[in-house]
Chains A and B, each alone.
Chain A
Amino acid sequence: MEHESCRQLLGSLSEYIDGSLETELCAKIEQHLSDCENCRIVVDSLNKTISLYHTSAQNSTVPEGVRERLLRCLDLSEYL
């Protein structure tokens, strides 16, 4: 992260990953990435970070008893 272009990339990286950047800026970033290994590593590890959190959340389950206690708390025990 030594060059000005690397710092500029960092500010737009999140939107680049989301695919919400303008085409022209996107092309500039891709051009930079083709020449800068450090930035490629940052992009890859940022993508991986988001993906790890997303996957871990999808695998999480609600503990037993939470639903039952919620319905009781809402005075909806007849729906248990």
Chain B
Amino acid sequence: MSGSEDFSLEALRSGDRAEFVRLVETYYAMIYRLALKILNNTQDAEDILQETFLKAYRHLKNFDGRSSLSTWLYRIATNEALMFLRRKRVDFISVDEPLENEQGEQEPLEIVDWCCLPESELTSAEAQRHLDQAIQNLPPSLRVVFVLRDIQDLSTRETGEALNLSETAVKTRLSRARLRLREELTGYFGERVQEGKRT
């Protein structure tokens, strides 16, 4: 995880504004990106960012230091983002809810070698839209794990702490998320491979 943890907890807990600003400056971009990847909407991400730091400021005096400050902020932000989705969607799945067929993995159906595509095609604006859409197609319970582990670079343990999940549950959900995303991207990039063969 990036970011420094050399903050004075005593100053933060006593309401030191300069120290709190340092905390904000260090982590606001990471929290914004986390919320944006979960919600895929810039205004919603900004709302979650603001709510996260408002809550952090109010509750810093209760921060027990068992996790790092960054993991604690991730936990607040993830909870806020999930609550936001819960309010918006009726088909919401809680992050704590056991997944159907937790032990089993969905088998990949598509076997197309698309890694050979040129980098410009893999990173085009259109490809980026497909990447973003594929994340949104994941159930929130898988999406948050993937975003924390593979985009925000948290460890399995930190992700578990942020989501209040066991490390085994984090690994299982990460595996399912990755395989589903691979499947979705294979659908999209596989067509680009076929188009390339036809031309």
Contact = CB atoms under 8 A, between A and B. Distances in A.
B20 A76 contact: yes
Given A14-B179, A66-B46, A52 B171 contact: no
A30 B53 CA distance: 46
Interface residues of B, number: 48
Given A52-B131, A62-B28, A13 B33 contact: no
Interface string A34-70: 0000100110111011101111110010110011011
Given A62-B28, A63-B42, A70-B28, A54 B179 contact: no
B17 interface: yes
Contact of B114 (A1, A10, A45): A45
Given A13-B175, A42-B108, A56-B131, A69 B50 contact: yes
B179 A10 contact: yes
Interface string B120-155: 001100011001000100000000001000111100
Given A54-B150, A66-B46, A46 B171 contact: no
Contacts, number: 111
B21 A71 contact: yes
B115 A48 contact: yes
Contact of A57 (B17, B122, B151): B151
B189 to A, nearest CB: 8
Contacts of A70: 24, 28, 46, 49-50, 53
B33 A60 contact: yes
A67 B50 CA distance: 10
A50 to B, nearest CB: 5
A11 interface: yes
- Does more than half of chain B's interface fall in helix, strand or loop, or is it mixed? helix
A67 B53 CA distance: 12
Given A42-B108, A62-B28, A76 B21 contact: yes
B83 to A, nearest CB: 18
Given A42-B108, A53-B131, 9 more contacts: A1-B109, A41-B111, A48-B122, A52-B131, A53-B151, A55-B123, A57-B37, A66-B49, A70-B49
Interface of B: 17-18, 20-21, 24, 28-29, 32-33, 36-37, 42, 46, 49-50, 53-54, 57, 105, 107-109, 111-115, 122-123, 127-128, 131, 135, 146, 150-153, 156, 171, 174-175, 178-179, 181-182, 185-186
